[in-house]
Structure formats: structure tokens, C-alpha cells
């Protein structure tokens, strides 16, 4: 059995690492293809090193571009790989452009596709990721879900239930495995950042176009962060997209908001684990904070991960950045989430997937 894995962007790496490891332990033949959708070392190479992913067998070096250009370039460069390597299965992860592009190629070549993290839905087709999810799940042959509502989403779309397997969350596998290593970095990280654990801090991540591409909205978010910074320190590892927008529109970040370079997986995990609260628009962070039982405020009108609200520690804040301020106040006044970790978010999802092959 020959399994070919396709990864393209930072979130894919955390999802693929446990599957690759479990399949290696099972003795399966594997090929790892990096499309190069994320090519900045801060968003790509460092994660291969920290996650223990093997060096990619092939790097397609697609780079950036519009959604259409990037998707087309992945398809052009990936098709010859499939024809040459002739895998039995292609594994795709998440909802990035590389995921949909690789699935389209395989569907037309008659190569079976397994989609890890299938069935997530925000029901918002203005999100490019939602289009990628819908297309991928209609074409994939095996849909590997991380929570029960995903199967219900797929059933509504007419997907054959025989194709769907609930396996758990491979991103949590990675967190469980590497959290002790991340914790070992905490004393030095705390000292270097001057963190007072008694006061705590808010950790912020923002990268979605809906939040950062509109200068008025981005300025409003920064203004809300300034008010939050009067309540507790704010640490803000800045995604390259967000950093570019702050510079392009000359949006001044107040002194109380500490801007940081994008963090590697281990450092960011340590920062999440010790945060008083997290403000984000990232799907993966919603999941990780749920596992870590850290309050999470998601600055979006919707989420494709409702299990992090029903079972976890996530609160959906909507589109008004000022709504963050009373939410932070309530957390600091003693509100704590009563959530639990969803079933099968236990560090064993990679093994469950490997056993299917």
C-alpha cells in the first residue's frame, strides 16, 4: 500500500504529522509532497523541524498568488507527480487551496482520496476555505471526521455514510505529543518576554481576510486591543499577511500590545497553554484552546468548529471588535468555560486512521 500525503500550509503540517508517524509504524510506504503554498520559513520549514515530519520527498514550490492562480499551479505541478508515483491513496488535509487542487487532480485521474478533517462547515461561502471544503468532500472517497456534527453536515449534502469515518482530531494528537516539550520552553520564554504569571496575558492571532484586509476593520480591532491592554498585557504574534496590512495602512499598534514575529509550534503552544485568554480567528486555535481548557474569543460571525463552543472553551464574538472588551472583562472577573474535551480528541486519531489502510 502506497500512501501519498499532500501538505501545503502551516495547519496541514500539524494534522499530517501524526498520520505519517502512525503509518510509518504500520510499515506503510509513504510519499510526502509539499506544494509550497506556505514557503516562508517562519510558516513552513520550522514546523517540519519541530513536528518531526520527514523532509518532503517533493516540494512543488508553488508560492503565493490569487486563489485561482495558486489552485491552478498546484494542479499543474501535482498531476505529473501522481502519474509518476502511482499511489494507492492520496491523503489531503484541512481546507487550504492545495487540498482542493490535489483532490481535483486525483478525481480526474481515478486515484482514491482520503480527506482528514472532512465535514467542517461554516455555512459561509464568502470564505474561500468553505468552497475548498465543499468541493473536496464531494470528490473524496474516504471522509475522516473529527466530531459527530461533521457526519451530519456530510449527510445533508448527500455524501454516502459508508464513506465517513469518525477518527478524532489529528491536530490534538500533535499537541498531546509535543506539549511536554513546549512546557520545557516556558521558563525561558516567560523570562525573555517579561511575563508576570500573576497578571496573566491575552494571546492574539489574526489572519483571515475578513479581519485584516479591510483597513477600517483592522484599525477597529487594534483599537479594541488597546483597551484590552489596559486590563492585561496583550501578546500578538503577527501573521505575515496581517503585518503587511498594518504597514500598508500605517495602523499604529499601541505600546501595550506587544507585537511578535510568527512563533514556531512549540513556543506558540507554550504561550497558548499559559494564556489567561486567547483572541483569534483561527480554526486550529479554537481546537487547541478547547483541549488546553483556555478561554477562547473568536472574532468571527461563524465557525466551522461548533464543537469547540458546545463542548469546548470557545465563544463566538461576531463582527464587532468592541464586543471583545466586555467578554475579556467577564473572564478577568472570574468567568471560566464549563466545556469539556470532545470525544476522541485524545491523541490517538493518527493510529485510528492508519488502521483503516
Question: Active-site positions?
Answer: 207
Q: By three-state DSSP, how is residue 4 classified? A: strand
CA angle 213, 217, 219 (to 5 degrees): 100
Paired sense of beta strands 296-298 and 58-59, if any: unpaired
What one-character-per-residue DSSP string does 274-303 give? H-SEEEE--HHHHHHHHHHT--EEE-SS--
Question: In terms of Cα–Cα distance, which of 330, 323, 127 is closest to 220?
Answer: 323
Instruction: Give the C-alpha separation, 104 to 50, whole Å.
Output: 30
CA angle 9, 11, 14 (to 5 degrees): 115
Instruction: Give the C-alpha separation, 202 to 235, whole Å.
Output: 6
Residue ranges of E strands in 129-184: 142-145, 164-166
Q: Residue 2: in which H helix or E strand, if any?
A: strand 2-7
Amino acid at each position: 500500500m502506497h500512501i501519498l500525503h499532500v501538505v501545503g500550509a502551516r495547519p496541514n503540517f500539524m494534522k499530517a504529522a501524526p498520520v505519517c508517524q502512525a503509518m510509518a509504524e504500520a510499515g506503510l510506504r509513504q510519499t510526502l509532497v509539499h506544494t509550497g503554498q506556505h514557503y516562508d520559513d517562519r510558516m513552513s520549514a520550522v514546523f517540519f523541524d519541530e513536528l518531526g515530519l520527514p523532509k518532503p520527498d517533493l516540494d512543488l514550490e508553488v508560492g503565493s498568488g490569487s486563489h485561482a492562480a495558486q489552485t491552478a499551479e498546484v494542479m499543474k505541478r501535482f498531476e505529473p507527480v501522481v502519474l509518476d508515483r502511482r499511489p494507492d491513496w492520496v491523503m489531503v488535509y484541512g481546507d487550504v487551496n492545495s487540498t482542493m487542487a490535489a483532490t481535483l487532480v486525483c478525481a480526474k485521474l481515478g486515484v482514491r482520496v482520503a480527506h482528514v478533517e472532512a465535514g467542517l462547515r461554516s455555512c459561509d461561502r464568502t470564505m474561500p476555505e468553505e468552497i475548498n471544503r465543499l468541493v473536496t468532500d464531494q470528490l473524496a472517497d474516504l471522509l475522516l471526521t473529527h466530531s459527530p456534527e461533521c457526519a451530519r453536515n456530510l449527510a445533508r449534502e448527500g455524501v454516502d455514510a459508508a464513506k465517513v469515518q469518525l477518527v478524532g482530531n489529528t491536530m490534538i494528537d500533535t499537541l498531546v505529543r509535543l506539549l511536554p516539550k513546549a512546557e520545557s520552553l516556558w521558563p525561558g520564554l516567560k523570562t525573555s518576554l517579561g511575563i508576570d504569571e500573576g497578571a496573566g496575558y491575552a494571546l492574539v492571532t489574526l489572519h483571515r481576510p475578513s479581519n485584516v484586509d479591510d483597513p477600517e476593520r483592522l484599525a477597529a480591532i487594534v483599537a479594541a486591543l488597546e483597551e484590552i491592554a489596559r486590563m492585561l498585557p496583550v501578546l500578538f504574534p503577527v501573521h505575515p499577511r496581517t503585518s503587511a496590512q498594518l504597514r500598508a495602512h500605517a495602523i499604529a499598534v499601541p505600546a501595550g500590545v506587544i507585537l511578535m514575529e510568527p512563533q514556531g509550534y512549540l513556543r506558540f503552544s507554550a504561550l497558548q497553554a499559559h494564556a489567561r485568554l486567547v483572541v483569534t480567528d483561527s480554526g486550529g486555535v479554537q481546537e487547541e484552546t478547547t483541549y488546553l481548557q483556555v478561554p477562547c474569543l473568536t472574532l468571527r460571525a461563524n465557525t466551522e468548529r461548533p464543537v469547540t463552543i458546545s463542548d469546548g472553551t470557545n465563544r463566538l464574538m461576531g463582527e464587532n471588535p468592541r464586543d471583545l472588551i466586555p467578554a475579556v472583562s467577564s473572564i478577568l472577573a472570574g468567568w471560566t468555560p464549563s466545556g469539556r474535551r470532545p470525544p476522541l480528541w485524545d491523541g490517538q486519531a493518527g493510529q485510528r486512521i492508519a488502521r483503516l489502510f
